[in-house]
Amino acid sequence: MSVELKTQQQKNVKFLDQVRISLRSNRYSKKTEESYVGWIKKYIVFNGKRHPSELDKESIRIFLNYLAVDRQVSASTQNQALQSILYLYKNILRRELGWIEEIKFAHRKKHLPVVLTKEEVKSIIKNLEGVVGLMTKLMYGSGMRLGECLKLRLKDVDLELKIITIRDAKGEKDRVSVLPESIIEELKLHISKVKNLHKRDKEKEIVVALPYALSKKYPNANKEIAWQYLFPAKSIVYNEDEKVKYRVHLHPSTYQKEFKKAVLKAEVTKQATPHTLRHSFATHLLQNGYDIRTVQELLGHNSVKTTMIYTHVLNRGIGVRSPLD
């Protein structure tokens, strides 16, 4: 490897660190940070590892067309790549790109969400137990995403009012959803176990991870019971720089693996994922007679148009009698 190429690679690594710092200071989620940095890295590699400041609109157009034509990515994937690059030029390089001509946009396919029947949901839940079973009931009963469920803290659950506060959801918004009455006793038992775990953690000087810079603003918050994760991980994370042991939430893959096993055991033939529980929550509420605006608020959608997709699910085949019958 030449000295010039090695120097260029080092510059690109430092540059990507700048991108990470910018995204964190603008309070983008970790998932978005990973996605944006990933796409910017691919953009740099695609252009022979040249620094983005040396590239122009033509380089962006060629990269986006390559994704659509050669890689045949979906419309949402191509758009994600575009948004990542636009963020890079606007917030890091401070360059206004304007309109990019002749982009071959990937065809956006309209897919209806996969929705489980109430019996299918019950069957999946029957094949789950412990923490994963409780999480499944909570997600289906409140319409939460998996990531939102994992980020819940003890302070976000109100057993008396029977509500859950979902903080920093998609679009950095907080919202309130319903807490299913049928799981309150099970939830109380689970919370008592989390409190016992917290007592043991305090003795071992293990603290909970806090979002943003809250640990600096509230130095003792990471030791308080209110900030403990509702679904903590069994393992501990050690931060070498801070010399601190952290308790984090359960890893999403742990849940996903158990959910997939339960779907197979329940012999559900639909392509069900944890997010299918959210689709099922919305559809079943509409079936039960709740209005679209209520469902919109519970799901946290900006526009009622997004929520309207569940009415299309309900309308499939309804009112149409097959000629065979």
CATH number of the domain enclosing 139: 1.10.443
Q: Which helix (H) or strand (E) holds 198?
A: helix 184-203
Q: What is the mean pLDDT of residues 294-323?
A: 80
Question: Is pLDDT at 7 greater than 70 in this prediction?
Answer: no
274 is a domain residue = no
Q: Which of the following is catalytic: 87, 229, 255, 310? A: 310
Reported as a pLDDT band with limits 50, 70 and 90, residue 149 is very high
CA 16 to chain centre: 22
Query: How far out from the chain centre does Cα 234 lie?
Result: 21
Is 145 a catalytic site residue?
Answer: yes
**pLDDT tier at 280 (50, 70, 90 boundaries)?**
very high
Calculate what percentage of the chain has a pLDDT beyond 70.
90
In a domain, 117, yes or no: no
With CA atoms as reference, report the closest residue to 44 among 98, 80, 8: 8
Identify whether 209 is part of a domain.
yes
Contacts for 25-33: CB closer than 8 Å, 24+ residues apart:
26/91, 27/172, 27/212, 29/168, 31/147
The closest alpha carbon to 194, from 167, 155, 251, belongs to: 155
Angle, helices 252-265 vs 118-126, to 10°: value is 110
Task: Using DSSP bridges, classify how beta strands 163-166 and 157-158 pair: parallel, antiparallel or unpaired.
Answer: antiparallel
246 in active site: no
- Residue 126, pLDDT above cutoff 90: yes
Pair 223, 184 in one domain: yes
Which member of 151, 249, 278, 284 is catalytic? 278
259 located within any domain: yes
Q: Tell me, yes or no, whether 81 and 148 share the same domain.
A: no
Co-location of 42 and 138 in the same domain: no
Q: How confident is the model at residue 5 (pLDDT cuts 50, 70, 90)?
A: very low
Nearest to residue 80, comparing CAs of 128, 15, 130, 28? 28
159: which DSSP letter?
A: T
Predicted pLDDT of residue 9: 53
277-300 average pLDDT score: 93
20 has catalytic annotation: no
Query: In whole angstroms, what is the distance from residue 296 CA to residue 283 CA?
Result: 11
Tokens of 314: 């309900």
Choice among 20, 42, 167, 275 that is catalytic: 275
Segment among 2-6, 100-104, 302-306 with least mean pLDDT: 2-6
Write down the pLDDT at residue 1: 47
Task: Give the domain-ending residue among 220, 248, 266.
Answer: 266
Q: Are residues 148 and 249 in the same domain?
A: yes
Q: Tell me: do 87 and 129 sit in the same domain.
A: no
Name the pTM for this structure. 0.76
Both 144 and 236 in a single domain?
A: yes
Same structural domain, 212 and 154: yes
The span from the CA of 85 to the CA of 66, in Å, is 15
Higher pLDDT, 14 or 315: 14
In terms of domains, do 171 and 253 share one? yes
Would you tell me how many other CB atoms lie within 10 Å of the CB of residue 51? 13
| 205 is a domain residue | yes
Q: Is residue 289 part of a domain?
A: no
The enclosing domain of 58 has a CATH number of 1.10.150.130
278 is catalytic: yes
Q: Is the pLDDT of residue 222 over 90?
A: no
Residue 31 sits in the same domain as residue 145: no
First to last CA, the chain: 72
* Active-site annotation holds for 57: no
pLDDT above 60 for 319: no
Final residue of a domain: which of 244, 266, 288?
A: 266
Match 């060629």 to its residue by tokens.
62
Tally of structural domains, the chain: 2
Query: Is 64 within the bounds of a domain?
Result: yes
Q: What's the mean pLDDT when you consider all of the chain? A: 88
Taking only the tens place, the pLDDT of each residue in 47-105 is 998 889 888 888 988 999 998 888 888 888 889 999 999 999 999 998 887 777 777 77
The DSSP annotation for 258-308 comes to HHHHHHHHTT--S---HHHHHHHHHHHHHHTT--HHHHHHHHT-SSHHHHT
Output DSSP code: residue 206.
E
What is the arithmetic mean of pLDDT over 118-129? Answer: 96
Same domain, 166 and 235: yes
Give the separation between CA 89 and CA 84, rounded to whole angstroms: 9
Q: Is 214 helix (H, G, I), strand (E, B) or coil?
A: helix
| Residue 321 CA to its chain's centroid (Å) | 40
Q: Which of 42, 167, 170, 245 is catalytic?
A: 170
Q: Token pair of 17, please?
A: 């660190």
Residue 85 forms part of a structural domain: yes
Residues 209 and 251 in one domain: yes
Residue 3 reports pLDDT greater than 70: no
168-204 pLDDT per residue, tens? 877 678 899 999 999 999 999 999 999 999 999 999 9
Residues 128 and 21 in one domain: no
Query: Confidence class of residue 12 from pLDDT cuts 50, 70 and 90?
Result: low
Q: How much is the pLDDT for 324?
A: 63
User: Which among 145, 151, 279, 284 is annotated as catalytic?
Assistant: 145
Starting at the edge strand found earlier in the chain, the sheet holding 206-208 runs: 206-208, 244-249, 232-239
Q: Which domain holds residue 149?
A: 122-266
